Amino acid sequence: MRSSTPFFAAFGPLLFGKARRSQINELLQENSPNRSLSEFQSAFGDLVPKALLALNASKLNSRQRIFSPMVTFWAFLAQVLERGSSCRHALRRIIAWFEYEFPKADSPSPETPAYCQARARLEDATLAKISTHIAEQMQRNTPAAHLWKGRQVKIVDGTTVSMPDTAENQACWPQSRSQKPGCGFPLLKLVGLFSLASGALLESVHSHMRQSEAVLARLLWKFLETGDILLSDRGFCSFFDLSTLSRRGVDCVMRMHHARSADFRRGRRLAKDDRLVQWKKPAQRPAGCPPADFAALPVTLLLRMLRFRITARGFRSKEIVLVTTLLDPKIHPLEDLAELYFRRWTVELHLREIKTLLSMDVLRCLSPKMIVKELLMHRIAYNLVRALMQRAAITHDTALERLSFKGTLDSLHHFADAIHACQGHPRKQARLLAQLLVTIARDLLPLRPLRSEPRAKKRRPKNYQLLTRPRHKMGNLPHRNRPGAKHPKSPLS
């Protein structure tokens, strides 16, 4: 007799014989709301529109398979939300679910190629639509009190990620030129557009390392709406971008680029450390600026230049110079803009959450096609966790920036199992979901203003010899503990 566990309470046993194909199709198409493969689907499956994962009338996903788009999507998402989860681990999840639901039917093969092919059939456009749908929901659910003076503030910033060293990945995203062939890893540059109020990753673009972040960011300007405020670091501050965004009705608050001098003796004085200045159109067309767009730029651009100092006990004071298109000092005083720029640091925390807590720092797929899908799945996973945090913050009137992303991820992993076990019991599921929100809302980060944590490692690495040539050319290396072995000097010792 087959034993049952509380985590499969929603799976009803079959009566006699082999399962009919129509029953399997009904299960795979997710017609029944009480059936789901993944515990994460039980937790926030309502945020993902099922219509986007339905079978197509034509193209790749037109035929019914065991690895349907719905099954494959939630298994792939679980791999992202569970750090270090392999394709074999995801496949075992599907086999266990299929065996319990249809014990007499032919279960999927334990080999991973079929599942990997199913992941490849997920269309990039579909995954992008799912991520955009979640982000738009979060934007609509943002209370007016969470906006900055009633306006949406969006932050742009870039980062890099690495991936397995395969010939295909190297051809698409070459490694750094400073590394010898065979000793480095492909590197991908990613630029994202985040919402300050909700923390959602609205859109992202990527390219190879030799592409400028400022040029990549210009592909994101079309996703900005009239009335938005763009907040960025000095790497994105240029005459072309400020003028282009101003014509689109988007205001900017940016740190002054380090190559441009800040002369507070020029322009019209508005207040102390606050002046109206005019920037002139550059004589030469900058790299990445199309000739037609450069010709359309105005001759001069009226901007506001502000200066303030950051002081912290035990550290030298630091001067920050901002440039903005918000020209009215009464509506937007210097103190408010300085505080707004201080909140730009939240984008660094968001990138750390995606790269460290969701393991996007080192991607795992072996081909560029799958790397793109893996990036999209990380974007979806991040937005789903953020949506859960936003729901907890609004429900229990808690500041969203005080909620812990890691704490939310931990709570989700454990509560999702219990919610999944209660399929068929909507009242019990609703109670568990409510308790999950309570747990998230109570897990507050401590207030630590002006905290400083230098990027330095305390734990020393193992003293293995560094790979200075391709591995097959290194020959037989002496053991690191044998007499006469060369020990590389640690940069932290």
Give me the pLDDT at residue 36, please.
Answer: 62
What is the spatial distance between Cα 98 and Cα 219, in angstroms, rounded to a whole number? 43
**pLDDT at position 64, please?**
65
pLDDT at 9: 40
Q: What local confidence, expressed as pLDDT, does residue 203 receive?
A: 96
> Quick check: 163 pLDDT over 50?
yes
User: Which pLDDT does position 18 carry in this prediction?
Assistant: 43
CB 377 within 8 A of CB 358: no
My answer on whether 103 and 135 are in the same domain is no
Average pLDDT of 142-157?
95
Burial bucket for residue 14 (CB in 10 Å: 0-12, 13-18, 19+): middle
**Residues 199-203: what's their mean pLDDT?**
96
Q: Is there a single domain that holds both residue 118 and residue 134?
A: no
For residue 164, is it within any domain? yes
List pLDDT tens digits, range 273-317: 999 999 999 988 887 788 898 899 999 999 999 999 888 776 677
| Of the listed ranges 105-119, 201-215, 328-342, 373-387, the one predicted with least confidence | 105-119
Structure confidence by residue, pLDDT tens digits, 87-144: 999 898 888 878 877 777 777 888 999 999 999 999 999 999 999 999 999 999 999 9
pLDDT (0 to 100) of residue 449: 72
Confidence (pLDDT) at 31 = 37
- Please compute the mean of the pLDDT values over residues 51-58 and round it to a whole number: 77
Task: Looking at the structure, tell me whether residues 111 and 134 fall in a common domain.
Answer: no
The reported pLDDT for the residue numbered 33 is 40
Task: Reply yes or no on whether the pLDDT at 35 is more than 80.
Answer: no
Residue 10 pLDDT greater than 70, yes or no: no
| Mean pLDDT, residues 187-211 | 95
Does 394 reside within a domain?
A: no
115 with 47, same domain: the answer is yes
What per-residue confidence (pLDDT) applies to 455? Answer: 76
Quote the pLDDT of residue 460.
Answer: 84
Question: Can you give the pLDDT at residue 268?
Answer: 93
Same domain, 55 and 178: no
To which H or E segment does residue 427 belong?
Answer: helix 426-442
Tokens representing 102 are 């249809």
The domain in which residue 20 lies consists of 6-122
Predicted local distance difference test score (pLDDT) of residue 484: 53
Q: Which of 342, 357, 372 is the last residue of a domain?
A: 357
Most confident of 83-97, 158-172, 413-427: 158-172
Mean pLDDT over 367-373 rounds to 96
471 pLDDT band, cuts 50/70/90, is confident
User: Do 30 and 167 belong together in one domain?
Assistant: no
Q: What is the pLDDT of residues 59-70, one digit of tens each?
A: 666 666 778 888
**227 dihedral zone (left: phi>0; alpha: psi -120 to 50; beta):** left
Tell whether the model's pLDDT for residue 463 goes beyond 60. Answer: yes
Do 155 and 227 fall within a single domain?
yes
Q: Is residue 185 part of a domain?
A: yes
In a domain, 341, yes or no: yes
User: Is residue 13 pLDDT above 60, yes or no?
Assistant: no
Question: Do residues 233 and 218 share a domain?
Answer: yes
> Domain check: are 197 and 296 in the same one?
yes
Q: Which amino acid is at 89?
A: H
Kindly state the DSSP code that residue 355 receives in the 8-state scheme. I
**Whole-number CA gyration radius for the chain:** 26
For residue 193, what is the domain's CATH number? 3.90.350.10
Per the structure, the count of domains in the chain is 2
Measured at the CA of 344, the angle between CA 190 and CA 361, to 5 degrees, comes to 30
Residues 134 and 269 in one domain: yes
Is residue 144 assigned to a domain?
yes
Q: Which residues pair with 232 in a beta bridge?
A: 254
State the average pLDDT for the chain: 85
Q: Is residue 172 one of the residues assigned to a domain?
A: yes
- pLDDT higher than 60, residue 28: no
Residues 138 and 117 in one domain: no
Give the pLDDT confidence of 336-358 residue by residue, as tens digits: 999 999 999 999 999 999 999 99
Question: Which of 122, 152, 167 is where one domain is finished?
Answer: 122
The residue out of 78, 104, 122 marking a domain boundary is 122
Instruction: Enumerate the β-bridge partners of residue 190.
Output: 159, 206
- Is the pLDDT at 2 greater than 50, yes or no? no
In our burial notation (b when 16+ CB lie closer than 10 A, e otherwise), range 317-353 reads eeeebbbbbbeebeebebeebbebbeebeebeebbeb
Is 230 in contact with 154 (CB distance < 8 Å)? Answer: yes
β 251-255/229-232 pair status: parallel
pLDDT at 248 over 80: yes
Asked if residue 158 and residue 302 are part of one domain, the reply reads yes
